[in-house]
Structure 1
Amino acid sequence: MYRKPRIYMLHRIIEHFDENNYYFQRKTAISWLRFVALLDLIEKNGWETKPTSILASGYTDNDVFITFDDGYTDNNKALDELIRRGMTATIYPVKDFALTGFSPIDDMAHHLMSIQEPPPSIRRALLDGRLKKLLRDLTVTRYRHLRKHWFGIDFDAYIGHLFMNEQQLMHYYSQGIELGIHGRSHRAFNHLTAATLESELSDSLVWLQLLGVTTPVSICFPHGKHNEQVITKCLSIGQTLLGVDCEMEFIQVFRRIHVKEECYG
């Protein structure tokens, strides 16, 4: 068994690289060419893509796992390419994002990108993660209230479909793409009360089951945040737990490889 499985972590797949795009600056996007290069690398090495839910029961040196966080619609082309190549992956959609098409962090990012000369302090705060740390703990209602209070903004930035809806998720599941738990609201699990965490997990599980998911589910921690209490609760629902690209304090949590524009191997 390979000690550290190859688990690739992806968020957005944007057609062309743009150094001024928030997602490339935050390294939560790669270009289409970089994504194709990653798939070419997998094929060249003879690796086999597997769903992450099998990790808890074992894996080999030949196995590789591709994960997509949050369920962005620009993943559709990437998922179609995976299916065309006979590959699989695991999507970690957020229930509220899929149902409403809205995310506080993404809304603030798109507001930032729409301003020709945004205040340097706001740009720095969003890019270095300080503002994101605040936003990741807010409910949508609280976020919109504070957005109006802080910035005088009373409208949402993104017009369109930023996240896959239920029909799209069901389509890809029917094509062999796995769905896993990423929370109902995408708030950091380790900042929630026990009751709220229970609600986040149970709501997510029931939602996936309503979408047709019958296989064991894996759990990907929003923002990678967890602690011993979170792990104990999550293990009662799914045996495969995923973090982000940093050393894991707990052996029950698998580390993922952050795929970046400049480094995808």
Structure 2
Amino acid sequence: MSVVLMYHALYRGEDTTAIDQEDLPYAVSEANFIAQLDLLKAKNVGLFDSDSSVPDIIITFDDGHQSNLDIAAPLLQARGMSAYFFITSNFIDQRSGFMSGEQLRRLAQMPGMSIGSHGVTHQFFDDLTVDESRTELVDSRTHLELLTGMSCQSISFPGGRYNEQTLDLLKAAGYRQWFGSEIGTVSEALCFNSPETPSVDIDEQTLLVQQQQNPISRVAVRRNTTLEEFERMTRPDESYFRRHRRRGQIKLLVRRLLGNRLYHGLYKILSAR
């Protein structure tokens, strides 16, 4: 059983000026990130690939914030840990605080750091037409491959939003692994049909090909995540996951009632307080 952690931006000390207000609830301080990594010393931290045993913990980052390169990657490398970095391609060289093309290339060249897609524009896939979804999937992957010179065959959905048409388009668009935001643990045997599952070479990495249609579950690490809570999520404590799955179901119901636009607008208002 594996636990996939979802991070976003990191920050040093109390300086959060490089992080937008609405992103602050998911921003983690460098000190907290170090303490969290230290708790994982006895764990097998890796990727869903064929080069090692099944990892206990998989670390992922969404969006492509500059702190992923400046803070996260060196700390991970120093501990021999790998991670997925899911990049919104239109943020590259365009959005303040996010990586440039040159910085992304540096990250992609670091051993154990796997670059995946987070869409082109960060639009929610369940708001898009089939053609718009296909464009987001294909263009983001193409852009990332041109910038890094490496194959991009994994994706996480912005906001964890997707629908059946999104899932139907994935393999034709060249993806072999896809991650959501639904909280849960991951059974490699169910997700990848190991050990018979074929794998795909991604330069020096060999990612397993996902068999289940639903996205790989993750658990979000937030600014207010305590070490006690982090220990429970990475143990993993099933009672913790049950409780948060119930909360997630309530949020999903509210989102379906309000729609993505109103729901996200409400989130932005609350995050600004």
TM-score, length-scaled by structure 2? 0.64
| AA of the residue aligned to 1:73 | Q
| AA of the residue aligned to 1:35 | F
The residue number in structure 2 matching 1:194 is 130
SS at match of 1:178: strand
The residue number in structure 1 matching 2:36 is 38
Contact 1:219 1:234 in 2 (8 A): no
- The Cα shift of 1:25 comes to 8.3
- The Cα shift of 1:190 comes to 1.1
Which among 180, 188, 209 is matched to residue 243 of structure 1? 180
Contact 2:167 2:213 in 1 (8 A): no
Distance 1:100 1:22 in 2: 14
Counterpart check, 1:49 vs 2:45: yes
Which among 42, 65, 72 is matched to residue 58 of structure 2? 65
Rate the CA distance shift 1:59–1:197 in 2: closer, same or farther, 3 A.
farther
Which among 87, 90, 102 is matched to residue 167 of structure 1? 102
The residue number in structure 2 matching 1:256 is 218
SS at match of 2:38: helix
The residue number in structure 1 matching 2:189 is none
Distance 1:48 1:232 in 2: 32
Contact 1:71 1:91 in 2 (8 A): yes
Residues 15-43 of structure 1: per-residue CA shift (max 9 Å, x gap):
13589987598521111111001111111
Q: Determine what percentage of the aligned residue pairs are the same residue.
A: 27
| AA of the residue aligned to 1:174 | Q
- The Cα shift of 1:98 comes to 0.7
Distance 2:102 2:16 in 1: 33
The residue number in structure 2 matching 1:228 is 164
Residues 228-264 of structure 1: per-residue CA shift (max 9 Å, x gap):
111111233212111114369x852111111123333
SS at match of 1:254: coil
Rate the CA distance shift 1:59–1:219 in 2: closer, same or farther, 3 A.
farther
Rate the CA distance shift 1:99–1:225 in 2: closer, same or farther, 3 A.
same
| AA of the residue aligned to 2:5 | Y
Distance 1:19 1:206 in 2: 32
The residue number in structure 2 matching 1:182 is 118
Which among 14, 25, 28 is matched to residue 27 of structure 1? 25
Rate the CA distance shift 1:188–1:24 in 2: closer, same or farther, 3 A.
closer
The residue number in structure 2 matching 1:82 is 76
Greater Cα shift, 192-201 or 206-215: 206-215
Contact 1:245 1:257 in 2 (8 A): yes
Residues 168-195 of structure 1: per-residue CA shift (max 9 Å, x gap):
1111111121100100000001111111
Contact 1:17 1:30 in 2 (8 A): no
Rate the CA distance shift 1:192–1:89 in 2: closer, same or farther, 3 A.
same
| AA of the residue aligned to 2:59 | I
Contact 2:184 2:217 in 1 (8 A): yes
Contact 1:92 1:179 in 2 (8 A): yes
Rate the CA distance shift 1:245–1:19 in 2: closer, same or farther, 3 A.
farther
Distance 2:225 2:21 in 1: 14
SS at match of 1:9: strand
- The Cα shift of 1:78 comes to 1.5
SS at match of 2:148: coil
Contact 2:10 2:72 in 1 (8 A): yes
Aligned residues: 197
SS at match of 1:99: coil
Consecutive unaligned residues of structure 1, counting only runs of 5 or more, are 102-160
Contact 1:181 1:218 in 2 (8 A): yes
TM-score, length-scaled by structure 1? 0.66
The residue number in structure 1 matching 2:207 is none
The residue number in structure 1 matching 2:88 is 94
| AA of the residue aligned to 1:50 | G
